[in-house]
Amino acid sequence: MGKFIIERIGSAILTILGASIIAFVILRALPTDPARLIAGPFASEDVLNTVRAQMGLDKPLVAQYLDYIRNFFTGDWGYSYGAGKPVLPLIAERLPASVELAVLAFVSAFAAAVLLTVLVSFSRSRILDGILRALSFVSVGVPPFWISLLLLMLFFERLGWFPGPVGRGPAPAIITGFYTIDYLLAGNLQGAGTALWHIVLPGIALALGSFGYLVRLLRANLLDVVHEPFVTVLHSKGVAPVNTHFRHILPNAFLPTLTAGGLILAQLIGGSVLVEQIFTWPGIGTLVIDGITRQDYAVVQSFILLSAIIYIVVNLGVDVLYGYVDPRVRRS
Amino acid sequence: MTDSQPALLDVLGLTKRFNAPSNLFGPRRQVHAVEDVSFSIASGEVLGLVGESGSGKTTVGRMVMGLEQATDGTIRFAGKAIGKLSREDMLPIRRRIQMVFQDPFASLNPRRKVGDLIAEGMEIHRIGTRAEQKAEVTRLLELVGLPADAATRFPHEFSGGQRQRIGIARALAVKPDLLVADEPVSALDVSVQAQVLNLLQDLKEKLNLTILFISHDLAVVEHFCDRVAVMYLGHLMEVAPREALFAHPRHPYTEALLSAAPVPDPTIKRERIVMQGDIPSPVEPPSGCVLRTRCPYALPACAVTVPPLAEVAPGHFKACIRDDILLRPAHADQ
Amino acid sequence: MTDAPVLDVRNLRTVFDTPVGQVVSVDDVSFAIPHGKTLGLVGESGSGKSVTSLSLMRLVGRGGGRVASGSATLTTRDGATTDLLALPEKAMRKVRGRDIAMVFQEPMTSLDPVWSVGDQIMESIRLHQGVNKAEARRRAVDMLRLVGIPAPERRIDDFPHQLSGGMRQRVMIAIALSCRPGLLIADEPTTALDVTIQAQILDLIRRLQAEIGMSVLFITHNLGVVAETAVRVVVVYAGQVVEEAAVADIFATPRHPYTLGLLASIPGTSAPTPDRRLPTIGGAPPSPLARPTGCRFAPRCALALDACRASVPELVEVAPGHKARCIRWQDVRR
């Protein structure tokens, strides 16, 4: 098992390096001249050259790449001219907001999907199955920004049950960057409650699509496994249906859902731009959109690599978890 | 090997090793599927290739068909080496070697009509006009004992035995010289098996087919084949004419196979030589003679070198260093 | 050792309600499994032999079937008798695995891939014998040793994919026998295995049967296996019992044309003919939805008369302990 984990970490590191090369090359291939962007449209050639030298754009590409890697590891991720701050602290400020939202949304979606799908499949009721399927179709089909607006209209404007599009609410003393955790660490239960209260609406908007997708996937997998020969064998041993379903069928059906789950989580962290925009959520999604519109080079470059890292790390986690759950994978 | 007729298929030193999935950091592992196999089949002859799982018999069949590239060794068909031919050069050869597969349910495309499946070979090799092909399909269906209207139906509408007949019709559509039959009756019920075997016998005589008959069922092989080659873990153990193999087996593995096969006669109760243990993994085959880990007659010398296939009687070859063991034949008590 | 049969099946009838009509898979089947011995249930695809075993275990519901009528009286080790088909489901669950156990055909897919083999054996033990985990583990290791798996203390924590087909089948047998059932239903347990492994498994079942005094219902289409293992044989065709006799009688003096045809079509059982053809039963079994009135074998029978087609023949006693469903049984000769 240890060997398995080390192998996976090794592949992950190689993949990250590969992603860094791609991020590096893509930005260098863009038509815009970064020096011109920074110096402005009226700068003279001399100023441009100075800026280029400052940014290291006059060095050969390989040297630039090595600089880039070195800077990455020393924490120098460039400077955001749009925000007027270095990129790393900027991202460090905004990333936890996205992660907190994505993780809470994902966990709820996952738990709800698994619970409902397993119970419905165990009941063998065609009516319940039909309802669940209809629900999953609707969830998958609903666009997140539309549902965000709908939720706001209904639960904020009409009913006033939840806060409006004001972002995360009051901040606690920052330790991890996750408001709920930081409030709890400070012993402030009410504050944690407020933080959660702000997360509910954007969380639902994000969770719906994942929920529908996971339900469909898990349902299909359960159906497949139910027809496998070993299930008949379990019945012939006299194993009660409850145990057959929860201790044998579910673990087998769960594996592909686990993989899909990882991908969904990674996507939610980096890709929830529209929801973040609508709720004024200070996450990395809005950060990178601003970066793109302002052609803020350093921010975009860092974000590309960062998203790749998020995907890779989440998938590494999934792989390791998979190794625990599926013994066939463990023995390579 | 019969010298009287020219060999239609001549296989020499055939070897196939697959790359096994290995770790990122581990040594390269190989599956030794087929090791140094040599035999020939005369025109009009039926050679049985017998073995259990992992013996390599299916891989040999696939290499003869050109579906796998040999790692080493040569395959000569009608005198011409066919192992390394280009796609264009191989095409006329493919017409002359056809395969019948084991699984009648998986080897026919379920989305195509039976008539199209049978005619497919003719289309690829551009044999005949559409009308001629259609007529040929009807003729073939009749030849294999199926009604002419089967051409417009789909495979799932037929039983296992009928689908196997369709597979045979498909193989014969291009009028091959050599038929590679890979376990053609193993998936069939006993009574259906008999029908299909009779059909193959009819076709063999009518069309003067040469057949490489791959099977694990010794009773079927004894009934159908002229000569028999026995394989284990990629190696040839014994090659002999049919009567000689069953009446006077010369290799411990052949003896084990013969004694393991249950006989449909309750009055025969014999002391069976049950070969112990499992078949070793082809990724790490035993050194020397691959059978030595399970062979009741193994000696320390068996681990040293791979025994060569040596002729011990006219046309009868065995790969075993021991000449001193008396082996029990099949039907010992009859 | 009592004379009463361990399982007495009377007039079993199992049906499947499909969109295209009702399929009667098992039609008025009766047989008795002698105590401590093996009964062979022989039939080809579509004969209903597997559905019979699933019916006895009350597992047909999963495939959409139901037992329409009949009784199956089980005599457990302590002498008590129960009708399996009349038991409430909860009570039946206690019987499964404890009084009757099953071994299935496909060892590769019969075990839960994410549970260790030890856990799967212990599941049965803890379910039926109510012992704690440590004791269950001890018994599981004993079972693995009993079925001939080397180094059982290590292999108990292996997962199914780490074992070969033969080993997995041994594990299946270990699971089945872990609670010392009085009856083992083996549904084609060796069909998917290599010949030498098959021999080992058959030996194992025989040995264990003697050791724990177990009765066996052995379902197969392989008459060689039946000859080796069974003392009595029941032959089924198209859902009905067509012949029932002691094993020696079935082979020496079959009294139903189907049994006769089946025996003759096995390669090697009849004297070889110069034209190398096997005697066959023409045609194919009837579709369950379109069975002929009268004798179901009549369309394929060389001895068929009009009387045969008029009504279904009764199962008559043709000799002591020998029954056949044929009005012309006297004319059936090998």
- How close does chain A come to B29, measured CA to CA in Å? 12
Per-residue pLDDT at B334: 41
At position B289, the amino acid (one-letter code) is: C
Please report whether residue A240 resides in a domain: yes
Q: Quick check: is A218 in a domain? A: yes
The answer to whether residue A167 is domain-embedded is yes
Cβ within 8 Å, pair C284-B159: yes
Q: Residue A37: which pLDDT band, with cuts at 50, 70 and 90?
A: low
Q: How confident is the model at residue B92 (pLDDT cuts 50, 70, 90)?
A: confident
| Residue B131 pLDDT exceeds 60 | yes
In a domain, residue A262? The reply is yes
Give C168-180 pLDDT, tens digit per residue.
999 999 999 999 9
Tell me: the pLDDT tens digits for C269-319?
A: 777 777 888 988 888 888 888 899 999 999 999 898 999 999 999 999 999
Mean pLDDT of A15-39: 76
Of C166, C197, C265, the CB nearest to B190: C265
Q: What percent of chain B has pLDDT above 70?
A: 95
**ipTM, interface predicted TM-score of the complex:** 0.88
Which residues of A fall within a CB distance of 8 Å from C97?
236-239
Three-state SS for B12? strand
The arithmetic mean of pLDDT across residues C201-205, rounded, is 89
CATH assignment at residue A260: 1.10.3720.10
3-state helix, strand, coil in chain B (%, to 5): 35, 25, 45
A chain contacts of residue C94, beta-carbon cutoff 8 Å: 238
Q: What is the 3-state secondary structure (H, E, C) of C166-231?
A: HHHHHHHHHHHHCCCCCEEEEECCCCCCCHHHHHHHHHHHHHHHHHHCCEEEEEECCHHHHHHHCC
| Backbone dihedral angles phi then psi of residue B44, each to the nearest 5 degrees | 85, 5
Q: Among A192-201, A290-299, C155-164, name the one with the lowest average pLDDT.
A: A290-299
Give the per-residue pLDDT at B2.
47
B21 → chain A, closest CA residue:
A332
Paired tokens of C234: 């029941």
Interface of A with B (CB under 8 A): 3, 7, 10-11, 332
The DSSP call for residue A160 is -
Question: Contact C29/C15 with Cβ under 8 angstroms?
Answer: no
pLDDT confidence of A20, banded at 50, 70, 90? confident
Of B41, B59, B52, B56, nearest to B253 by C-alpha is: B52
Measured between alpha carbons, how far is B292 from B302 in angstroms, rounded to an integer?
Answer: 6
Q: Do the domain assignments include residue A133?
A: yes
Pick the range with the lowest mean pLDDT from A1-5, B15-19, C33-37.
A1-5
CB contact under 8 A, C164 and B198: no
Region B200-207 average pLDDT: 91
DSSP alpha helix (H) spans, chain A:
2-28, 34-39, 45-55, 61-74, 87-123, 126-141, 144-151, 179-185, 189-226, 229-237, 241-243, 250-271, 273-278, 284-293, 297-325, 327-330
Q: Are the Cβ atoms of A327 and C98 closer than 8 angstroms?
A: no
Residue A139 lies in domain: 87-331
Strand, coil or helix: B265: coil
Are C268 and B222 an interchain contact pair (Cβ–Cβ within 8 Å)? yes
Cβ-defined contact of A10 to B23 (cutoff 8 Å): no
CB contact under 8 A, B223 and C221: no
The pLDDT of A159-169, averaged and rounded, is: 86
Neighbours of chain B (3+ CB pairs under 8 A): A, C
Residue A12 near residue A313, CB atoms below 8 Å: yes
Interval B190-209 mean pLDDT: 90
> Going by C-beta distance under 8 Å and a sequence separation of 6 or more, which residues neighbour residue B239?
B39, B227, B228, B229, B230, B309, B316, B317, B318
Per-residue pLDDT at C134: 94
Cβ within 8 Å, pair B264-C263 = yes
**Helix and strand totals (H; E) in chain C:** 11, 12
Residue C99 has pLDDT above 50, yes or no: yes
Asked if residue A36 is part of any domain, the answer here is no
Nearest to C109 among A229, A234, A235 (CB): A229
Spatial separation of the C-alpha atoms in residues C199 and B257, rounded to whole Å = 10
Q: How confident is the model at residue C1 (pLDDT cuts 50, 70, 90)?
A: very low
> Which of B25, B29, B281, B283 is the best residue to mutate to test the A interface, defined by the most A CB atoms within 10 Å of its own CB?
B25
Chain C: closest CA distance from residue B257 (Å): 6
List Cβ neighbours of A142 (8 Å cut-off, separation of 6 or more): A208, A209
- pLDDT class of A332 with cuts at 50, 70, 90: very low
What pLDDT is attached to residue B26? 67
Residue B169 has pLDDT above 80, yes or no: yes
pLDDT(B185) > 60: yes
Which residue in chain A has the smallest CA separation from B24? A7
Distance, CA of B47 to CA of C115 (rounded, Å):
44
From the list A230, A238, A328, the residue facing C97 with the nearest CB is A238
Of the listed ranges A56-70, B28-42, C102-116, the least confidently predicted one is A56-70
Least confident of A28-32, C3-7, C87-91: A28-32
Q: Do β-strands B46-50 and B210-215 pair in parallel, antiparallel, or remain unpaired? A: parallel
Using the Cβ of B27 and the Cβ atoms of chain A, whether some distance falls under 8 Å is answered with: no
Q: Is residue A37 part of a domain?
A: no
Q: What is the pLDDT of residue A68?
A: 79
- B286: which 2 tokens? 């035993």
Q: What mean pLDDT do residues A153-161 have?
A: 90
Task: Count CA within 13 A, CB hemisphere, residue B302.
Answer: 18
Instruction: Give the residue among B274, B280, B284, B281 at the shortest CA–CA distance from B292.
Output: B280
pLDDT tens across B223-266, in order? 999 999 999 999 999 999 999 999 999 999 999 998 888 888 88
Show which residues on chain A lie within 8 Å of chain C, measured between beta carbons.
228-230, 232-240, 248, 251-252, 325-328, 331
Residues of chain C in contact with residue B216, where contact means CB-CB under 8 angstroms, are 194-195
Candidates B66, B63, B62, B119; CA nearest to B91 is B66
Quick check: is A111 in a domain? yes
Interface contact flag, C104 A248, Cβ < 8 Å: no
**Closest partner CB to B223 (pick from C167, C200, C268):** C268
Instruction: Give the residue, A226 or B328, on which the prediction is more confident.
Output: A226
Q: How far is A126 from chain C (nearest CA, A)?
A: 15
pLDDT tens digits, residue range A42-83? 777 887 787 777 767 777 778 888 887 888 778 777 777 777
What was the pLDDT predicted at C2? 56
From CA B9, how far away is CA B176, in angstroms rounded?
Answer: 13
pLDDT in tens, C121-168: 999 999 999 899 999 999 999 999 989 888 899 999 999 998 988 899
Confidence band (pLDDT; 50, 70, 90) for B27?
A: confident
Q: What is the pLDDT of residue B5?
A: 57
**Who has greater pLDDT, A20 or B213?**
B213
Question: Which residue on chain A is closest to C57 by alpha carbon?
Answer: A236
Provide the pLDDT confidence category of residue B23 given band limits of 50, 70 and 90: low
C-beta separation of C216 from C205 below 8 A: yes
- Residue A137, pLDDT score: 94
Q: How many domains does chain A have?
A: 1
The more confidently predicted of residues C33 and B91 is: C33
